[in-house]
Amino acid sequence: MRFSDLAGRRVVVWGYGREGASVTAHLRDLGVDVTVADPDRTDGPHAEVAHGEEGRTRLLDADVVVKSPGVPVVHPLHLELVASGIEVTSLTDLWLGDNAERVVAITGTKGKSTTASLLHHLLTAGGLRSSLRGNIGTSVLAETDPPAEVVVMELSSYQAQSLTRSPRIVAVTSLFPEHLTWHGSLEAYFHDKLNAVAHGPETVVVPGDAPEVVRRVRDRLSPGAQLLLTDSGGVHVDETGDVVWPDGTRVAAADLPLPGRHHAGNIALALRIAGLFDLSPTDLAAALRTFAPLPHRMEPVPSGDGRRWIDDSLATAPEAVVASLTSLPGERVSVVVGGDDRGLDFTPLVSHLRAHPDLVVLLVGPAGARIAAESPDLSARVFDFFGAAVAWAGSAANPARVVLLSPGAPSYDEFADYTERSAAFRAAALAADGR
């Protein structure tokens, strides 16, 4: 759907957060007659927003509803709107309807932000006017002057679910369970996530060493779309962890901006896409070496006890924790795991922890408590609060020389968001004295 398709129709924006407010203003600038509803609230600071039953009625009377990403597809009113034949779209879908040809979207369960940020860096270094937008925090409406030639978009599953037009290029970094409450089930999550490749992309890029991802992408891929893999036919990660090109250009694993094979795989994805813009391997390798990693992704932080403290607060899925631990071979690691419990299956993580008894496991929050209850044989320390866990990590009682915050769970049990949890971790690192 395009913005122009809304002319002369009764349009209601569902939700008046940051995105709802911006799309409402944009639609009014375009001359669209639009109102706003937030039926899950009884009141609010904006007089124009219809709340409660009035908001519900307004949505059911609409021709088109522009839904904010925070509203889950399993919401009873969303199901009712769809069943009644009311078109439900989103800002992302409307914007892509007019801009898909210049968009490269990065989606997947984890690795989106790093891959998108790196690709933007590579394209900019290569002389293209690139803009980084989407789920990474910048609205798709935030146009540059002059307009960007390429828009690199981090695309969440919430945003992908509503698409009726795919970006020209899509990369899928990984697929494992996440956001199941919003989508309703694991299969619904995969289906909604891969909706990004189902509506006419030109090219889709997928990790060559992830056969399950390749299979699922093939199942949803639009006919005629080109599927590229990060394998020996292009830039890829070799058996040593180096990133290599078919012409022999190589960046050693030790010189990559982030440690671990999973990060190397995401780097290869970004480089594979950048190569589609006629940027040479030599120039891309040089640009890669100047990339500064994003915060909270295996980020070293200052400490007072001589240990290495690493902030990986954005590792909010069990599989992401396994990948982060794997990137620290030969190190004695204490890892802080847990937080808000979303009911995810921790079996992959617990299996890894059992297989590496030298790890010092510190469990926190409802998720940590569930891991302890479901795995009584696991050698781990359980703490009532995050602060107690990181204080112990900085004490003489901790035999490890690395303290890794890689929680495998969100932060909402104790903190407003992951950045607040990271701040508490950093404060504990600085306060630690090993005594």
> How many CA atoms lie within 13 Å of 166's alpha carbon, on the beta-carbon side?
25
Task: Report cis status (omega within 30 of 0) of the bond before 39.
Answer: no
Q: Which helix or strand (DSSP H or E) is residue 229 part of? A: strand 226-230
316: annotated binding-site residue? no
114 is in an annotated binding site: yes
Which residues touch 32 (CB under 8 Å, ≥6 apart)?
A: 3, 6, 7, 11
Question: How many other C-beta atoms can be found within 10 angstroms of the C-beta atom of residue 31?
Answer: 10
Q: Among 273, 113, 146, 290, which Cα is nearest to 203's?
A: 273
112 assigned to a ligand binding site:
yes
Residue among 122, 113, 124 nearest 287 (CA): 122
Look at the alpha carbons of 195, 23, 202, 153 in this order and tell me if their dihedral is positive or negative.
negative
Query: Is 193 annotated as contributing to ligand binding?
Result: no
How many Å apart are CA 35 and CA 58, to the nearest integer? 8
67 in a labelled binding site: no
In 3-state terms, what secondary structure has residue 65?
strand
DSSP element (H, E) containing 29: helix 18-29
**Tokens representing residue 432 in the block:** 């630690």
Give the three-state DSSP class for 49: strand
Q: What is the token pair recorded at 54? A: 């009035």
The structure tokens listed for 193 are 């996530």
Binding site as annotated, residues for ATP? 108-114
Binding site as annotated, residues? 108-114
